[in-house]
Amino acid sequence: MNDFKKMADENRRDFLKFVAKAGISIPALQASTLAMGVMSSRFAEAQTSSNKIKRVIFVFIPGGTPGFASYSFTPTVESNGSLTMKACSQSMDTHKQNCIFVHNAAIVSGNDPAGGHGLTFRVLGAFNGNGTTVDNVLAQSVVGASSRFGSLRLGVIANSATGATLDCSISSVNIWTQSTYVSNPRTVFNSLFTGGASTGTTAQQQQLKIYDVNLAALTKIRNQLSTEEQLRVDENIAAIQKLKNDLNNSTTTTGGACTNPAWDNFGTGEADPMLGAHFSQLFDQQARNAALALACNLTKVVSIQMGTDGGNFTAPGFSDTYHGSIHVGKDDPFIAQRAYLQGRVASLINILKTTPDETGAPLFNSTLVVQLSDMGNGQVHMGEDAPLLLASGASTFRGGRVVTGKTHTQLLDNAAQAIGLTGYTAYSAGALSGVWS
């Protein structure tokens, strides 16, 4: 990773020179994540690159699929080239033209297929001598150098209240040091847009803190912003307010409306971020956090982890845990919960399609979504034929197809190359070909 560190150091120096030429002080930028985002966006646009993808989101669904992906997930390619969804992928039907479904690729540890619980760090590429997962590699490289947050890790019931536990995280800086996924959307929101944990207990106090911190810093640099950039900043603030309202109207454990949850008193009841009954709500809040962070140019790399390696949560409408459905001895319970989780990915794409980027275009048009798992057939813990896909709204992305792959690590190289590390294949023998026109 020494080459990555050298590239990152050089890029940071270039970014500081770029900011200095604009006449903006570093303290002014550091005071506001939104202000930093504006200048990060300018810096990214100033780089000479024809690449359409500026951002990547890795999404993890544990447990593979019932009876391998070809049986329950990978669409059938009809004689006319159209795709017919399977039971577990039906929710992706409206997005299939924006998706490449990967057939026959294995989850690997090194070069060997290996599925099973407890080794989720292999999902993003930490195995053998390569202990740093791709999200952290990108955070350390030129991709993360000009971002306020090199990498953003969002969990949906992905850990305990205090953080990820051993062998649960898909991200690591080495095989022994797991990266923490934050499963509380409010905590993520506060860290992104207020610079730290909340100090208030009411919606009004939260609102004042958000506006005071961000607008004070933005006022200092307003003279350096174009009219279009000022409009984009205003749109971002409006989007933040919408997410804030959604969070404050979280569902309580009894199903009633919660207009002012005690987010600072984690674990006391309202909108418990470790409660499976709130899985849909929690995922959408994290997806909105991701979209806002990307749209505000606070980061270029996001990973979302659904559950832990064991899948010990019960999704809304189900009586058994996800792990229990995998090993109940029948396909239908597993298919039902796996289809539900796939629906969360469809929800993420919907949010990306309806969130404008810094140019006003859909965020999805400049984002690559990479869906990964830790198994192929989860019922027998095998690594072959895993449920993998790539998705993007970029005009050069060749969606609406099923392609044959070899290993899940090829998708990691596709992602790294797509957002700027061209020619670099750290994780596999080569990225999937034919992804871009």
Helix, coil or strand: residue 12: helix
- pLDDT, average across residues 168-175: 81
**Nearest C-alpha neighbor of 294 from the set 56, 58, 134, 32:** 56
Q: How far apart are CA 236 and CA 35, in angstroms?
A: 11
CA angle 123, 124, 128 (to 5 degrees): 85
Per-residue pLDDT band for 151 (boundaries 50, 70, 90) equals: very high
CB of 179 within 8 A of CB of 164?
yes
CB of 102 within 8 A of CB of 372?
no
Q: In 1-121, which ranges are E strands?
A: 55-60, 76-77, 83-84, 99-103, 108-109, 112-113
Q: Are strands 367-372 and 55-60 parallel, antiparallel or unpaired?
A: parallel
Q: How far apart are CA 191 and CA 198, in angstroms?
A: 8
Q: What phi and psi values does residue 389 have, to the nearest 5 degrees?
A: -155, 160
Instruction: Count Cβ neighbours within 10 Å for each residue of 133-148 and write b for 16 or more, e otherwise.
Output: bbbbbbbbbbbbbbbb
Q: Which of 140-144, 218-222, 303-307 has the least mean pLDDT? A: 218-222
Residue 376, judged by CB atoms within 10 A of its CB (0-12, 13-18, 19+), counts as buried
- pLDDT, average across residues 25-39: 57
The domain segmentation of the chain, as residue ranges, is 2-418
Q: What is the largest CA-CA distance in the chain?
A: 65
Angle between helices 33-46 and 2-21 (to 10 degrees): 100
Q: Which amino acid is at 7?
A: M
CB of 286 within 8 A of CB of 188?
yes
Q: What phi and psi values does residue 10 have, to the nearest 5 degrees?
A: -65, -40
Q: What is the pLDDT of residue 106?
A: 94
Q: What is the pLDDT of residue 349?
A: 98
Q: Which residue has the tokens 């860290």?
A: 191
CA angle 307, 147, 60 (to 5 degrees): 15
Q: How far apart are CA 299 and CA 40, in angstroms?
A: 9
Q: Is the overall model pTM greater than 0.85, yes or no?
A: no
Q: What is the pLDDT of residue 199?
A: 38
CB of 155 within 8 A of CB of 164?
yes
Percent share of the chain, pLDDT over 90: 41
Is the pLDDT score of 334 beyond 90?
yes
- pLDDT, average across residues 191-213: 49
Is the pLDDT score of 39 beyond 80?
no
What is each CA distance from 242 to 235, 238, 245, 262, 397, in whole angstroms?
Answer: 11, 6, 5, 18, 31
**Residue of 36 and 341 predicted with greater confidence:** 341
Q: How far apart are CA 185 and CA 286, in angstroms?
A: 6
Q: Answer yes or no: CATH 3.40.720 is held by domain 2-418.
A: yes
